[in-house]
Amino acid sequence: MKTAITPTDVSSDESIASRRSFVAAAVALGVAGTTEAADAQTPQNPRFQNPSGLSVPRGYSHVVEVTAPGRMVYIAGQTAVDAGGRVPEGFRAQATQVFENLRIALASAGAGFEHVVKLNSYLTDIPAQLPTLREVRESYLNKAAPPASTTVQVSALADPRYLIEVEATAILPQRG
C-alpha cells in the first residue's frame, strides 16, 4: 500500500515545525518500508559503456549512462567496522567487511550490487592494497556490467585502524 505524504498549509510562524513534522513522517514511512519486499529487478535504464578510444578497464566501466527515471540510492563511505563495533585486522578482512557493510546498506533500500552504478574507494596504500581490493570487489559486483569506479590513495581515514573506505551510488526502478 502506498501512502502519500503531503505537507499541510500552515502560517509562516508554523513553517519550521510543519517541515519537521513532514520530514519525521516521511522518515517513519521510509523506515517502515525497508521491511517490505522491494522491487528487486535490475533496472533497465543504466547503460554500462567502455567507449573505444579509452583504455580497457579492469573490473569497472568507464561510463554508466542513466536516461530513465529511477530511485537513486547514495551509500555513505563504509569502513570495516562491523555491527558490534569491531574492526578486523588485515586489508583483505577489512575489504570483505566493507563490502558486507555495503551489501547490508544496499539491502535496506531494496537494492543489491547489481544496482550499483558508481563506487568510490579510498585506500591508504594503493600499491599494496589495490590487487586485493580488486579480488574482493569482483566477488561482489556484476562482472558483466561493473559500475564506474574511482580509487584514490589517502594519507589517513577517520580512524587509524581503517585501511579502506568505499561509497556507492545505486539506481533502482521506480516503485510501481
Q: Any residues with CB less than 8 A from the CB of 153 and at least 6 apart, and which?
A: 122, 123, 124, 125, 126
Domain range list for the chain = 1-36, 46-172
CATH superfamily for domain 46-172: RutC-like (3.30.1330.40)
Predicted local distance difference test score (pLDDT) of residue 48: 79
Q: Give CA–CA dist 111/91, Å, rounded.
A: 26
Residue 64 has pLDDT above 90, yes or no: no
Mean pLDDT, residues 39-62: 70
Residue 45 has pLDDT above 70, yes or no: no
pLDDT band at 147 (very low <50, low <70, confident <90, very high): very high
Q: Give CA–CA dist 98/8, Å, rounded.
A: 41
Predicted local distance difference test score (pLDDT) of residue 88: 97
Residue 21, all three cell numbers: 513534522
For 2-37, how does the pLDDT look when each residue is reduced to its tens digit (9 = 90+)? 444 333 433 444 444 444 444 444 444 444 444 333
Helix (H) or strand (E) holding 6: none
Cα 62 to the chain's mean position, in Å?
18
Looking at the chain, list the stretches that DSSP marks H as alpha helix, in order from N- to C-terminal side: 15-33, 91-108, 126-140
Indicate the angle between helix axes 91-108 and 126-140, nearest 10 degrees: 40
Amino acid residing at 51: P
Which DSSP state fits 40?
-
For 154-172, how does the pLDDT look when each residue is reduced to its tens digit (9 = 90+)? 999 999 999 999 999 999 8
For 67-99, how does the pLDDT look when each residue is reduced to its tens digit (9 = 90+)? 667 888 889 999 999 999 999 999 999 999 999
Amino acid residing at 36: E
